[in-house]
């Protein structure tokens, strides 16, 4: 969901929250286990296959939670888990930093969880996670994609659309209006969801759930009738009943009435409103850091009273079920509207691998990062697309200044998406990253991966739309049916996706076509994930730009082993004033890499079963460090690194 301009919170008499202090977050640390007498002390070593083994879903996640509970009883801050074993530790931040900085980063099967993990992303030796959002894919297809493409090509996690039962309708936003905590939705049944999580994790891909616990669905028209507004005449996707500030529930424990939602004093069925034209809260514009004071209904969707024990217990049961199934990561929708204290006492009952918050341009609150999670930083994306979308050739070298997004969101606390559903445009629009921009968009997502800045990035794999409200292929509001299910991406074992574009923007016949796009599958993405994991975090040691090069050409070297180059493209619709720049022949450019035959990782469509002997496009470097052969296509990006030399 979205927030934009901001306004003052109304002064409403609210019940005092039961908590005055947030619950500390214990998160996954991708570091070697701590060692005794090196700033860490082992408190207790627990064992037992029954308590710390696999649950009925075949997952070890429930055991992680049991280990966390034991840790809190023991008063520690770190635990190390392996199947059948739970080590409870107390460590200093310096001790874990030293462990993370050690040369040997292989962590094996012993997983470390700690309240001291936030520092690790600032270290050179840290991971370089690449996530992808598969927007409105069904669970069967997501499972197949994890096995066939995401796992083999190094994706760390896949984000799925909201998983709870929702209102009827074909639009994309119906999934953001929950009506129960059933896990059956138009993306598939609860069993489909559990199978998808199992298969993705088996392929090495964690699952991120888009968590909706700020609100429930707005009432349907029948529930607004004065005579029946206290009943539940509305029907959800899986048959659950709901009404005006009421949920009939699907699980027995997820029933709710007006008393469970914020409301105007003395009027249980009424509440203040957040939406256009003012949208949010705070009065300070982008200086706002928290909107939970408002307790208003966002877009008329009833706002959960998270200060109530009953509501928190309901939400806790939901997130713990997700964790039992094997979900290890979350995106928190409308996090700004939920208090840090209430939200932390739900989320932090679980030792998640990773949590991030929907965030716009608001000021980041250090407490929110500490107790909730990372911030989605969309400013990074807008800077990137400005330099490679709607700026002049003279401004192109400014791309080298891209170090971070939001001025106050540190890169180690951010996740950088290339696209997001609230940030789309109806038509191709330079500077706004969508598939409609064709080759221009592809160059932007390639640069996101190749540029060795930022820590966590998220790619996008979605569908084509002709109207901004369009749901996935298979869901068309022109049919008049409120029931729909996404068409399969995979048919006869193959993904039906838009081929990699070769021009900007897409031609008219593809611009509004309702089909699966799968931007994350376009040529070069798979190879550049390998490049990023090898080169991310290395210092920029050399850059090339005009007048040393021709206008529209850029190149950089990261460390002494990675090199990238690009040529600005031509926009057919806008008739770019610089005209066609053509391909850039690299012969003679002294890049300083060891001699050999290199694969242009930006040309590799998949690393699955790659023999590392052949490559669609190659670069040859001589003994003097100069390129002997190789070129960059107009509107494209080339990337080579020492580990990508061909045998």
Give strand pairing partners of 631: 585
Answer whether residue 73 shows pLDDT above 50: yes
Answer whether residue 270 shows pLDDT above 50: yes
Determine if residue 32 is left, alpha or beta; phi over 0 gives left, psi from -120 to 50 gives alpha, anything else beta. Answer: beta
Tell me what pLDDT residue 478 has: 66
**Strand pairing of 85-91 and 78-82?**
antiparallel
- Residue scoring higher pLDDT (75 or 277): 75
**Contact partners, residue 208, CB within 8 Å, separation at least 6:** 131, 157, 158, 159, 160, 327, 329, 330, 331, 354
Tell me what pLDDT residue 371 has: 96
Predicted confidence band at 12 (pLDDT cuts at 50, 70, 90)? Answer: very low
Tokens 């574009």 label which residue? Answer: 501
Give the H or E element holding residue 28: strand 27-29
Answer whether residue 302 shows pLDDT above 80: yes
Tell me what pLDDT residue 6 has: 34
Tell me what pLDDT residue 289 has: 76
Tell me what pLDDT residue 15 has: 45
Residues 143-167 have a mean pLDDT of 98
Dig out the tokens for 218 from the structure: 């707005």
Residues 25-48 have a mean pLDDT of 92
Tell me what pLDDT residue 483 has: 87
Hey, which bits of 358-506 come out as E strands?
Answer: 374-376, 414-417, 456-461, 490-491, 494-495
Tell me what pLDDT residue 481 has: 75
Helices 309-325 and 61-74 meet at what angle, rounded to 10? 130
Tell me what pLDDT residue 124 has: 44
Predicted confidence band at 18 (pLDDT cuts at 50, 70, 90)? Answer: low
pLDDT in tens, 562-583: 999 999 999 999 999 999 999 9
Predicted confidence band at 591 (pLDDT cuts at 50, 70, 90)? Answer: very high
Give strand pairing partners of 355: 330
Hey, which bits of 286-405 come out as E strands?
Answer: 297-298, 329-332, 354-357, 374-376
Answer whether residue 105 shows pLDDT above 80: no
Contact (Cβ atoms closer than 8 angstroms) between residue 47 and residue 17: no
Answer whether residue 549 shows pLDDT above 90: yes
Q: Tell me what the pLDDT averaged over the chain comes to.
A: 91
Integer Cα distance of 289 and 55 in angstroms: 39
Long-range contacts of 426-431, Cβ-Cβ distance < 8 Å, separation of 24 or more: 426/465, 426/467, 426/468, 427/511, 428/504, 428/505, 428/506, 428/511, 428/573, 430/385, 430/389, 430/390, 430/571, 430/574, 431/382, 431/385, 431/386, 431/389, 431/390
Return the minimum-mean-pLDDT range out of 2-6, 92-96, 205-209, 514-518.
2-6
Predicted confidence band at 393 (pLDDT cuts at 50, 70, 90)? Answer: very high
Could you report how far apart the first and last alpha carbons of the chain are, in Å? 49
Contact (Cβ atoms closer than 8 angstroms) between residue 349 and residue 371: no
How many residues are recorded in the chain? 647
Contact (Cβ atoms closer than 8 angstroms) between residue 157 and residue 206: yes
Predicted confidence band at 291 (pLDDT cuts at 50, 70, 90)? Answer: confident
Alpha-carbon torsion (120, 122, 127, 130), positive or negative: positive
Integer Cα distance of 157 and 257 in angstroms: 36
Tell me what pLDDT residue 387 has: 95
pLDDT in tens, 318-337: 999 999 999 999 999 999 99
Predicted confidence band at 285 (pLDDT cuts at 50, 70, 90)? Answer: low
Tokens 């691998």 label which residue? Answer: 353
Contact (Cβ atoms closer than 8 angstroms) between residue 3 and residue 295: no
Residues 83-100 have a mean pLDDT of 88
**Contact partners, residue 266, CB within 8 Å, separation at least 6:** none
Long-range contacts of 227-233, Cβ-Cβ distance < 8 Å, separation of 24 or more: 229/269, 230/258, 230/269
Report the candidate in 193, 191, 141 with the shortest Cα–Cα distance to residue 162.
193
Tell me what pLDDT residue 280 has: 61
Residues 428-442 have a mean pLDDT of 94
Hey, which bits of 273-328 come out as E strands?
Answer: 273-274, 297-298
Predicted confidence band at 157 (pLDDT cuts at 50, 70, 90)? Answer: very high
Tell me what pLDDT residue 362 has: 87
Neighbours of 162 (CB within 10 A): 19
Residues 585-600 have a mean pLDDT of 98
Tell me what pLDDT residue 377 has: 97
Report the candidate in 521, 594, 596, 602 with the shortest Cα–Cα distance to residue 555.
602
Is residue 572 classed exposed, middle or buried when 0-12, 13-18 and 19+ CB atoms within 10 A define those classes? middle
Return the minimum-mean-pLDDT range out of 178-182, 301-305, 481-485.
481-485
What percentage of the chain carries pLDDT values higher than 70? Answer: 91
Integer Cα distance of 344 and 372 in angstroms: 6
Give the H or E element holding residue 91: strand 85-91
DSSP letters for 603-619: G-S--TT--SS--SSEE
Contact (Cβ atoms closer than 8 angstroms) between residue 457 and residue 374: no
Answer whether residue 620 shows pLDDT above 70: yes
The 3 state secondary structure assigned to 504-527 is ECCCHHHHCCCCECCHHHCCCHHH
Give the H or E element holding residue 315: helix 309-325
């Amino acid at each position: 969901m979205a927030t934009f301009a901001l306004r003052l919170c109304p002064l409403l008499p609210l019940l005092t929250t039961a908590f005055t202090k947030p619950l500390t977050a214990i998160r996954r640390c991708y570091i070697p286990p701590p060692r005794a007498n090196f700033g860490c002390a082992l408190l207790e070593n627990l064992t037992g296959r029954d308590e710390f083994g696999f649950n009925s879903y075949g997952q070890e996640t429930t055991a992680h939670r049991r280990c966390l509970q034991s840790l809190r009883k023991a008063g520690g801050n770190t635990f190390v888990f392996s199947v059948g074993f739970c080590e409870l530790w107390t460590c200093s931040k310096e001790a874990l930093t030293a462990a993370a900085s050690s040369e040997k980063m292989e962590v094996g099967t012993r997983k470390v969880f700690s309240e001291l993990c936030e520092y690790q992303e600032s270290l050179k030796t840290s991971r370089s996670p690449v996530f992808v959002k598969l927007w409105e894919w069904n669970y069967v297809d997501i499972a197949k994609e994890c096995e066939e493409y995401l796992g083999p090509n190094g994706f760390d996690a896949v984000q799925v659309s909201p998983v709870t039962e929702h209102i009827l309708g074909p639009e994309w936003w119906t999934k953001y209006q929950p009506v129960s905590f059933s896990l059956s939705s138009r993306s598939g049944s609860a069993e489909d969801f559990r199978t998808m999580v199992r298969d993705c994790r088996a392929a090495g891909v964690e699952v991120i759930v888009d968590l909706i616990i700020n609100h429930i669905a707005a009432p349907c028209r029948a529930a607004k009738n004065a005579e029946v507004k206290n009943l539940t005449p509305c029907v959800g996707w899986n048959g659950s009943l709901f009404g005006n500030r009421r949920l009939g529930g699907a699980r027995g424990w997820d029933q709710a009435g007006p008393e469970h939602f914020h409301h105007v004093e003395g009027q249980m069925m009424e509440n203040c409103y957040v939406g256009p034209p003012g949208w949010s809260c705070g009065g300070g514009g982008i200086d706002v850091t928290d909107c939970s004071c408002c307790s208003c209904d966002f877009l008329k969707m009833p706002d959960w009273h998270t200060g109530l024990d009953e509501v928190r217990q309901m939400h806790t049961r939901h997130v713990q079920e997700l964790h039992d199934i094997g979900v290890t990561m979350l995106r928190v929708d409308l996090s700004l509207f939920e208090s840090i204290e209430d939200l932390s006492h739900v989320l932090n009952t679980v030792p998640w691998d990773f949590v991030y918050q929907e965030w716009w341009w608001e000021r980041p609150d250090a407490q929110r990062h500490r107790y909730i999670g990372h911030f989605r930083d969309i400013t990074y994306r807008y800077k990137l697309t400005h330099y490679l979308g709607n700026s002049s050739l003279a401004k192109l070298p400014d791309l080298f200044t891209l170090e971070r997004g939001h001025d106050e969101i540190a890169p180690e606390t951010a996740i950088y998406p290339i696209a997001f559903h609230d940030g789309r445009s109806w038509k191709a629009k330079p500077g706004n990253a969508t598939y409609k921009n064709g080759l221009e968009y592809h160059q932007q997502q390639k640069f996101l991966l190749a540029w060795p800045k930022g820590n966590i990035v998220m790619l996008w794999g979605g569908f084509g739309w002709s109207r901004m409200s369009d749901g996935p292929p298979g869901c068309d509001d022109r049919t008049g049916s409120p029931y729909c299910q996404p068409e399969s991406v995979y048919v006869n074992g193959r993904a039906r996706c838009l081929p990699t574009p070769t021009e900007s923007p897409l031609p008219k016949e593809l611009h509004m076509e309702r089909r699966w796009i799968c931007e994350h599958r376009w040529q070069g993405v798979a190879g550049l994930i390998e490049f990023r994991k090898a080169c991310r975090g290395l210092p920029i040691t050399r850059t090339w730009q005009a007048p040393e090069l021709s206008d529209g050409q850029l190149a950089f070297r990261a460390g002494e082993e990675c090199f990238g180059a690009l040529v600005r493209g031509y926009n057919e619709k806008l008739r770019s004033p610089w005209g066609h720049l053509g391909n850039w022949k690299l012969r003679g450019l002294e890049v300083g890499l060891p001699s050999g035959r290199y694969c242009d990782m930006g040309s590799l469509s998949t690393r699955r079963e790659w023999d590392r002997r052949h490559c669609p496009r190659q670069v040859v470097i001589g003994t003097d460090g100069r390129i002997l052969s190789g070129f960059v296509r107009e509107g494209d990006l080339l990337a080579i690194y020492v580990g990508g030399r061909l045998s």
